[in-house]
Chain A
Amino acid sequence: MPRAGGTNATRADERHRPSPVRIDVEELGKSYGSFAALDNVSLTVKPGELLALLGPSGSGKTTLLRAIAGLTATEEGTIRFDGEDATVLSLRERRVGFVFQQYALFRHMTVFDNVAFGLRVRPREERPRAGEIARRVRRLLELVQLGGLEKRFPSQISGGQRQRVALARALAIEPRVLLLDEPFGALDAKVRKELRSWLRELHTETGLTTVFVTHDQEEALELADRVVIMRAGRVEQIGTPSEIYDEPATPFVCEFLGGVARFEVTAKEGEADVLGSLFPVEGDGDYHGPALAYVRAHEIEIVARERAEGVPAVIRAVRPFGPTVTVELSIEGRASRIEAEVPRELYSGGELGIGQGVFIRATSARIYAAN
């Protein structure tokens, strides 16, 4: 990707780039009838941070993003930009750069006119001159690597290019924060990957406080500084990608991140047996009663012979793709199969025949009290 243009533009901007904005969402509530779209949501987006709102559909993540933008009314709570109540501001005063999932480009305008739109609709006294508008639009189009496409119409460029036009258009109003709704949702897999790293770079260059919505956990964990996991209008967990991955706060987070096997177990004195080994219950050292245990595929070990720990299992399928080999196993008394990720050597060693009996154990497990 050509980088020269982008870097120059950034340097020119550096001098009067305002310091990034901090967003405080305080006890935000919004309901549609009896359905709570947002239920007492509080979080802080640090200045200059790239934050992901992650959750299944209907979890309220897009509602939250639209509320921050001022596109959706909320009934309770406040949103502050650098301490200032933003809910009383008009959209023009809010100056939020919003990139829509389907880009919402104006089809009757050229790429240039789309990007220039936000500057041209300013009140006369604030509006830059035509020459200045042209200069800024060109610079932005170079920043998003679309120089030369000014005269094209949105219908004449690719999906990825449209995405970047939408971004340039949002950046043209010199937004205080940048909000993106499923920024890669409408693109095919290959373009998604490319744009992902490019967005990361762009964020570094602009330094804007940026919030994006996604339902793709891989995208969120790979791209964001911090991730907010939402469910049914509430925040389930906030943390850095490694915190989320290593210390999922709730069973929901565990399951949403995926790649886990779930076991219903009974805990005694703060411990429960999972595949023949004892693991502690999260946050409660004396817990007695039903609990849910989650084990990731790579935390399941296959051993050929019974040791002190482990349970008998039968190999049902082997998927030898990628750096590790995935093995599907069934154990007695459990309907669904368990997936284990094992080193390739084990597979090349010829020890994984379908139908073969083995023993498995968990090297690690997260256990949550069920009530």
Chain B
Amino acid sequence: MSNRSFALLRPAPSVLPGWGFTMGLTLTWLSLIILIPLAGVFVRSAGLGWDAFWTLAADPRTIAALKLSFGTALIAAGVNVVFGFLAAWVLVRYDFPGKRLFDAAIDLPFALPTAVAGLAFTALYAPNGWIGSLLVPLGIKVAYTPLGIVVALIFIGLPFVVRSVQPVLADFDKELEEASATLGASRLQTVARVILPTLLPSLLTGFALAFARGVGEYGSIIFIAGNIPYVSEIAPLLIVIRLEEFNYAGATAIAAIMLVISFALLLLINLLQAWNHRRTGIQA
């Protein structure tokens, strides 16, 4: 590349061929498939004008849907941090029969189509389902309520947390635990003050991935949620509904808000990780 204006994309000298071709194709393909289409959302939103956009965004049904999507994703990611850590701990630290099976099963949510997951959870948690029928006498309703959404999102997000924590836990230096023990710490103190803080960056990564995925999740939720406006109607579903009403402006506004909030959160988490890495050298 001789053009000076492309300094940003000029590589350090290298004998390997193909820079121009591969980088050119990468940028073209990336722009055509991802960047330009995504930019369309913001162009459309900008085209609405501030007032019109604000009216759409402030629609109570939109706000309820956004709150529900972000709220349930937050709760589910939180649950996954706790149980994902526990699952990773058990899979890394202990030996028991069937360990490999359980380990492999963690990835099922990556491989199982979301619609199938949604169907399965609905069958399980419906009032006449295997689990739902047990919960009815206790007065707990899962299917067709926000609780059902949380359950589906726990499923979707579990592997993100487990797979983020697992390798870090496996590489964890046992001597740190021994040092803590010789200094007089109880086992619980060692876990809380030495192990958990070291795993925090990877837990945060898992949390962020599970959360981002949960906010946008659609397929597994629409079956179990019941989709009642203001109660159990998630933001992605509202986008679909607006599209079916040919209300493209409404759909675009919701999408723009979701994208902005998601990207802002991911940026925040990345900055947090970078700050922690600079300080302590601990990599997520």
Contact = CB atoms under 8 A, between A and B. Distances in A.
Contacts of A71: 178, 181-182
A118 interface: yes
Given A104-B173, A104-B176, A121 B281 contact: no
Contact of B184 (A69, A95, A107, A154): A95
B180 interface: yes
Contacts of A98: 178-179, 182
A107 B282 contact: yes
Contact of A121 (B178, B189, B200): B189
A319 interface: no
A117 interface: yes
Contacts of B175: 100, 102, 104
Contacts of B193: 117, 121
A96 B183 CA distance: 8
Nearest to A179: B182
A289 to B, nearest CB: 49
Nearest to A113: B193
Given A71-B178, A104-B176, A104-B179, A153 B279 contact: yes
B185 interface: yes
A64 to B, nearest CB: 16
A122 interface: yes
Interface string B137-178: 000000000000000000000000000000000000101101
A173 interface: yes
Interface in A92-115: 92, 94-98, 100, 102, 104-109
Contacts of A100: 175, 178-179
A91 interface: yes
A345 to B, nearest CB: 52
A139 B71 CA distance: 49
Given A107-B280, A169-B183, 20 more contacts: A70-B182, A71-B178, A71-B181, A92-B186, A94-B182, A104-B175, A104-B179, A106-B179, A107-B198, A107-B281, A108-B282, A121-B180, A121-B185, A121-B189, A153-B281, A155-B279, A155-B280, A155-B281, A169-B179, A170-B183
A108 B184 contact: no
B214 to A, nearest CB: 28
A121 B186 contact: yes
Contacts of A155: 279-281
19 contacts: A69-B182, A71-B182, A91-B181, A92-B186, A100-B179, A102-B175, A104-B176, A106-B179, A106-B194, A106-B197, A106-B198, A107-B281, A108-B200, A108-B282, A121-B189, A153-B280, A154-B280, A172-B183, A173-B183
A94 B193 CA distance: 21
Interface of A: 69-71, 91-92, 94-98, 100, 102, 104-109, 117-118, 121-122, 153-155, 169-170, 172-173
Contacts of B282: 107-108
B185 to A, nearest CB: 4
A105 B280 CA distance: 11
A104 B184 contact: no
Given A71-B178, A104-B179, A173 B184 contact: yes
A100 B181 CA distance: 13
Nearest to B185: A121
Contacts of B186: 92, 121
Contacts of A102: 173, 175
B53 to A, nearest CB: 43
A221 B86 CA distance: 49
7 closest Cβ pairs, A-B complex: A155-B281, A118-B183, A104-B179, A104-B175, A121-B185, A92-B184, A98-B182
A97 B184 CA distance: 10
Contacts of B184: 91-92, 95, 118, 121-122, 173
Contacts of B176: 104, 106
Contacts of B180: 106, 117, 121
Nearest to A115: B183
A127 to B, nearest CB: 10
Contacts of B197: 106, 108-109
A97 B182 contact: yes
A155 B179 CA distance: 18
Contacts of B179: 98, 100, 104-106, 169
A100 B280 CA distance: 19
A69 B180 CA distance: 13
B40 to A, nearest CB: 43
A181 to B, nearest CB: 9
A104 B190 CA distance: 13
Nearest to B281: A155
Interface in B12-36: none
Contacts of A173: 183-184
A74 to B, nearest CB: 16
